[in-house]
A and B are shown apart, each in its own frame.
Chain A
Amino acid sequence: MQSDETILQVKSLKKYFPVEKGLLRRQVGQVKAVDDVSFEIKRGEALGLVGESGCGKTTLGRCVLRAIDPTEGEIILRKSDGAVVDITALDKGELRQLRKEMQMVFQDPFSSLSPRMTVLDIIGEPLWAQGVRGQALEARVRELADLVGLNVGHLNRYPNAFSGGQRQRIGIARALATHPGLIVADEPVSALDVSIQAQILNLLQDLQEKLGLTYLFIAHDLSVVEHIADRVAVMYVGKIIELADTEALYLNPKHPYTEALLSAVPKPDPRLEEREIILSGEVANPADPPSGCLFHPRCQYAQDRCRQEKPPLEEVAPGHFAACHFAEELELTGVAM
């Protein structure tokens, strides 16, 4: 890793799912869900990962935690003691040991909590897995419940007694139980009601400040991501096509897809009369991707070169990466700040 500041470095990560057919499950192709993705996150930073459904953002998040095994690539994590490990090279036992360093917050506050366990058991599960029992476990769970704003008196209840927002707090408390440095939050607010989303976003921000957490924040909602992320990576069909500081990316996107995404977000302001870019067509099929730049069939600026040549992710401005042949020539519109 380049600097001590980096907590996570992902190098050329690939995850291909085989496409099988027939009685004998013959492999007839593969879906490149994540295709050669590299990025790094600094300690205490929140990296937003945005994209439409099927772009591979969830798969990427799960690979980083090795909830699923990547096909290729390296995932290097700096542990809290400063040691550096490649997660992809660990065996089962070593991986279990490492679990306390990185945790996940789920999208669905209903399916992510076992209906058969009390809140105490749910929040305490990562501790239990580390061998913490009895008083010590309960004390830590109380502390966590307090931290995320749950009523400590309700720990013996079952999740079905809680509303969506409270359940998401339970999920967050569980993720924080073992003092992890890295949290992968996969759409943590998208299943919540509008008035609850803000509560949870604020909570995540407060916790980050208080505990110095690092977030990989996966979401489809650009306004939510803008709110919480320091830097944002935009994914399209398994690849990162733009990566930059949040402000730079929103104000001054360098990839036509980012521009279209920003423009497509319905803005809660009826006085805003802006030129809207309506993309034609739909997201490319990752099992049968187009040639050249994956975005070219929908891109209004596409030229011949785009149809033939895959654009690499290149630094077009300091800290601003984009995968577009014309990133430096195009004048793209962001959102007005």
Chain B
Amino acid sequence: MTDVLLQVEDLKTHLPLEEGLLKAVDGISFTIRRGQTMGLVGESGCGKSMAVNTIMRLAPNFAQIEGDVTYFPVGAEPINITALDPYGPEIRDIRGGEIAMIFQEPMTSFSPLHTIGNQITEAIRLHRTEDKKAAAKIAIDLLQRVGMSNPKQRMSEYPHQLSGGMRQRAMIAMALSCEPSLLIADEPTTALDVTVQAQVLQLMRDLQGEFGMSILYITHDLGVIARMVQVVAVMYLGRIVEFTDVDSLFYNAKHPYTEALIQSIPKIGKKSRDRLESIRGAVPVPINRPPGCGFFPRCSAAIDGLCNRVDPPLVQIEDDHAVACFVYPEVLDAVGESMPEGATHAV
């Protein structure tokens, strides 16, 4: 497959803590194609941020990491990112050069001591051109393209002088400065107000069209997912429980968790003051997790003796639609189990 950009296979990030083994990421696999926008959605503690940190080799150094992350550059040999030295030059070339990241709080990715312009030109000179003047020109052009008014003046401003929205734009400009093939956006608009969020989301859509890079959105906001991505992976307790295109996610969700999650969010413009469907309980802690499906204690379709005994694997049950739930016979077949007597298929 030539159009694959990033392939993640059975990635595990286990953190040995005093309290026990924290399986932050527990065997996830997915691929991102060139120009594709993908969403990684889940609640806090589901491991979505740890997953991208592992992909970028930014996981804590005591983490036990297994699995493969392969990056396919244009016209070059594929690179196995998990095999690289996390502090070596190769991974640094990929980070910022091939794969760029933007974060929820832009303040943490800018140094408060240097001007915006300084930091963006620095990044450009590191990855693209040595020439100072040319780099500055590219930087100004980028600031213009991310919709910052008066970009020349912005170049000489410090991060704290910018508003939250402007800072996020500046960070996007910096991320794009090296024309990455993949942009990882970790909760890029969560800290912003709705109207500013709308601006930034619009900007990212425009830029995606313009630059054609792939984008991986990490978010808990299903509204952002619905508007921004083509395919979605839903994570729960360190695992992907459903993988599908965005339309099926909202109109044909297969996993009881996904279904319940979509049911539980208040939707604007729907009949007001109805009770929401809620998911009982809370997300458990992924430390010393018992075997079986992580959603078992909260699931309305749970099958005792099966779901709390065997881990459901992620199995493709329709075109481009994979799900990890024993409600589906394909998933049962994949582990060679059968439905216990008297259990129902109903979801």
Decide if A and B touch, CB cutoff 8 A.
yes
A→B interface (CB under 8 Å): 52-53, 163-166, 193-199, 201-202, 205, 220-224, 226-229, 246-247, 250, 260-272, 276, 278-280, 282-283, 334-337
Contact across chains for A278 and B198 when beta carbons are under 8 A apart: yes
Contact across chains for B283 and A195 when beta carbons are under 8 A apart: yes
- Name the one of B196, B201, B222, B261 contacting A282, with C-beta atoms under 8 angstroms: B196
Nearest Cβ on chain A to B56's Cβ, whole angstroms: 25
Q: Tell me whether B61 is interfacial, beta carbon within 8 Å.
A: no
Contact across chains for A195 and B194 when beta carbons are under 8 A apart: no
- Name the one of B201, B265, B270, B280 contacting A194, with C-beta atoms under 8 angstroms: B265
Q: Tell me whether B195 is interfacial, beta carbon within 8 Å.
A: yes
* Binary A-proximity of B243-278 (CB < 8 A = 1, otherwise 0): 000110111000000001110111111111111111
Contact across chains for A271 and B251 when beta carbons are under 8 A apart: yes
Q: Which residues of B sit under 8 angstroms from A272, Cβ to Cβ? A: 226
Nearest Cβ on chain B to A217's Cβ, whole angstroms: 12
User: Bound state CA distance, A194 and B264, in angstroms?
Assistant: 8
Interface residues on B, range: 35 or more
User: Bound state CA distance, A247 and B273, in angstroms?
Assistant: 11
Contact across chains for A268 and B272 when beta carbons are under 8 A apart: no
Contact across chains for B227 and A202 when beta carbons are under 8 A apart: no
Name 16 interchain pairs, CB-CB below 8 A, sorted by A: A164-B282, A195-B43, A198-B279, A201-B266, A202-B276, A202-B278, A223-B267, A226-B272, A227-B272, A265-B268, A269-B250, A270-B226, A271-B251, A279-B195, A282-B166, A282-B195
- Name the one of A165, A197, A221, A269 contacting B264, with C-beta atoms under 8 angstroms: A197
Contact across chains for A53 and B193 when beta carbons are under 8 A apart: yes
Across the A-B interface, the 6 shortest Cβ-Cβ residue pairs: A266-B223, A335-B269, A264-B198, A198-B278, A52-B193, A198-B276
Q: A52-B193, A198-B277, A266-B198 are in contact. List 11 more A-B contacts (CB 8 A).
A: A195-B264, A198-B265, A201-B266, A220-B193, A221-B266, A226-B269, A261-B195, A266-B201, A278-B198, A279-B195, A283-B195
Count of A-B contacts judged by CB separation below 8 Å: 147
- Name the one of A163, A201, A224, A279 contacting B198, with C-beta atoms under 8 angstroms: A279
User: Bound state CA distance, A247 and B271, in angstroms?
Assistant: 9
Contact across chains for B265 and A197 when beta carbons are under 8 A apart: yes
Q: Tell me whether B221 is interfacial, beta carbon within 8 Å.
A: yes
Contact across chains for A268 and B194 when beta carbons are under 8 A apart: no
- The residue of chain A having its C-beta at the shortest distance from the C-beta of B247 within the complex is A270
User: Bound state CA distance, A195 and B227, in angstroms?
Assistant: 20
Nearest Cβ on chain A to B232's Cβ, whole angstroms: 10
- Which of B198, B202, B223 has most chain A Cβ within 10 Å? B198
User: B residues 276-323 with Cβ under 8 Å of A?
Assistant: 276-280, 282-283
Contact across chains for A266 and B197 when beta carbons are under 8 A apart: yes
User: Bound state CA distance, A136 and B274, in angstroms?
Assistant: 36
User: Bound state CA distance, A228 and B273, in angstroms?
Assistant: 6
Contact across chains for B268 and A267 when beta carbons are under 8 A apart: yes
User: Bound state CA distance, A266 and B200, in angstroms?
Assistant: 12
Nearest Cβ on chain A to B147's Cβ, whole angstroms: 9
User: Bound state CA distance, A278 and B193, in angstroms?
Assistant: 13
Q: Which residues of A sit under 8 angstroms from B224, Cβ to Cβ? A: 266
Q: Which residues of B sit under 8 angstroms from A263, Cβ to Cβ? A: 198
- The residue of chain A having its C-beta at the shortest distance from the C-beta of B246 within the complex is A270
Contact across chains for A202 and B275 when beta carbons are under 8 A apart: yes
With A195-B283, A282-B165 known as contacts, the answer to whether A266 contacts B226 (CB < 8 A) is yes
User: B residues 186-210 with Cβ under 8 Å of A?
Assistant: 193-199, 201-202
User: Bound state CA distance, A193 and B262, in angstroms?
Assistant: 13
User: Bound state CA distance, A124 and B306, in angstroms?
Assistant: 43
- The residue of chain A having its C-beta at the shortest distance from the C-beta of B46 within the complex is A193
User: Bound state CA distance, A278 and B165, in angstroms?
Assistant: 13
- The residue of chain A having its C-beta at the shortest distance from the C-beta of B274 within the complex is A227
* Binary A-proximity of B163-193 (CB < 8 A = 1, otherwise 0): 1011000000000000000000000000001
Contact across chains for B266 and A223 when beta carbons are under 8 A apart: yes
Q: Tell me whether B40 is interfacial, beta carbon within 8 Å.
A: no
Q: Tell me whether B220 is interfacial, beta carbon within 8 Å.
A: yes
Q: Tell me whether B44 is interfacial, beta carbon within 8 Å.
A: yes
With A270-B227, A270-B247 known as contacts, the answer to whether A282 contacts B163 (CB < 8 A) is yes
User: Bound state CA distance, A267 and B226, in angstroms?
Assistant: 7
Q: Which residues of B sit under 8 angstroms from A279, Cβ to Cβ? A: 195, 198-199
Q: Tell me whether B142 is interfacial, beta carbon within 8 Å.
A: no
User: Bound state CA distance, A196 and B165, in angstroms?
Assistant: 28
Q: Which residues of A sit under 8 angstroms from B264, Cβ to Cβ? A: 194-195, 197-198
User: Bound state CA distance, A283 and B224, in angstroms?
Assistant: 21
Contact across chains for A267 and B246 when beta carbons are under 8 A apart: no
User: Bound state CA distance, A116 and B261, in angstroms?
Assistant: 34
User: Bound state CA distance, A228 and B271, in angstroms?
Assistant: 11
- The residue of chain B having its C-beta at the shortest distance from the C-beta of A285 within the complex is B163
- Name the one of B250, B260, B274 contacting A268, with C-beta atoms under 8 angstroms: B250
- Which of B196, B201, B249 has most chain A Cβ within 10 Å? B196
Q: Which residues of B sit under 8 angstroms from A334, Cβ to Cβ? A: 269
- The residue of chain A having its C-beta at the shortest distance from the C-beta of B277 within the complex is A198
Q: Tell me whether B146 is interfacial, beta carbon within 8 Å.
A: no
- Name the one of A193, A227, A268 contacting B283, with C-beta atoms under 8 angstroms: A193
Q: Which residues of A sit under 8 angstroms from B28, Cβ to Cβ? A: none
Contact across chains for A267 and B267 when beta carbons are under 8 A apart: yes
* Binary A-proximity of B6-23 (CB < 8 A = 1, otherwise 0): 000000000000000000
User: Bound state CA distance, A250 and B202, in angstroms?
Assistant: 22
Contact across chains for B163 and A268 when beta carbons are under 8 A apart: no
Q: Which residues of A sit under 8 angstroms from B198, Cβ to Cβ? A: 263-264, 266, 276, 278-279
Contact across chains for A269 and B195 when beta carbons are under 8 A apart: no
Q: Which residues of B sit under 8 angstroms from A163, Cβ to Cβ? A: 282-283
User: Bound state CA distance, A246 and B266, in angstroms?
Assistant: 14
